[in-house]
Amino acid sequence: METGAAPQRAVLGSARVRYQFVDCRWELGAPQRGRELYLAGHVPGASFLDVDEAMWDLMLGVDLKGAFFCAQACARAMRDSGRGGSIVNISSIHEDVPFPGYTPYCVAKGGLRMMMRNAALELAEHRIRVNNVAPGAIATPINAKTLNDPDKVATLQTIIPLQRMGRPEEVAEVALFLASDASSYVTGSTYYVDGGMVRYSQPL
């Protein structure tokens, strides 16, 4: 693969067309590292008994297949550049935490976790690091209904130890750390940005 900013933009532009809703970003490292951060967002809900094949294929296509081939394309460019790099996947706490009514989403994010772990091992010889950022409840437009429902907000404050929803910039700061050389000895890990939600436990 030809290296440089233009070919990489072409690769990711093609990925946007092929995998709906995938938002890809490429920054040619300055000057020694490549960095990739990509977001794949599509979250339809349905009960386990009502999920159909089309919904399953769309969810896995966007949130797992698309993520895999975006990461693979950038990893190839990073390898060919000889400079290494960092791949940061935006996952979810639901790579670990069940989410009733959203089985395909949880399957996709669980798959993204194992993809990250395998990729971290396979790509280490090329000095390419791979990590996940796993947000919990974040105050974004996708959660507008929750934010406008006092009962749901109260429930979240109960199950989130820090008793609030997160801000997008708090997720971005962790992603920036993982994409930067400040995390040069970090690979194969998931970083939760969830106010402690993934560790919630109620004593008897």
**pLDDT digit string (tens) for 68-111?**
999 999 999 999 999 999 999 999 999 999 999 999 999 999 99
DSSP, collapsed to helix, strand or coil, labels residue 86 as strand
pLDDT at 168 over 80: yes
pLDDT at 21 over 50: no
Residues in Cβ contact with 142 at an 8 Å cutoff, skipping those fewer than 6 apart: 41, 43
Task: Round the CA-based radius of gyration of the chain to a whole number and report it.
Answer: 18
| Alpha-carbon distances, residue 186 vs 39, 85, 87, 117 (angstroms) | 20, 12, 11, 12
Confidence tier at 29 by pLDDT (50, 70, 90): very low
Class of the CATH-defined domain 5-192: alpha beta
pLDDT at 54 over 60: yes
Q: Cα separation of 128 and 109, whole Å?
A: 21
- Token pair of 153 as six digits: 């907000």
Report the predicted TM-score, pTM, of the whole model to 2 decimal places.
0.81
Residues designated as active site: 105
pLDDT at 202: 84
DSSP, collapsed to helix, strand or coil, labels residue 88 as strand
The residues pairing with 131 across neighbouring beta strands, listed in sequence order, are: 88
Secondary structure letter of residue 67 according to DSSP: H
Q: Cα separation of 196 and 96, whole Å?
A: 13
The residues pairing with 22 across neighbouring beta strands, listed in sequence order, are: 40
∠ Cα 48 54 56 (to 5°): 45
Domain boundaries, the chain: 5-192
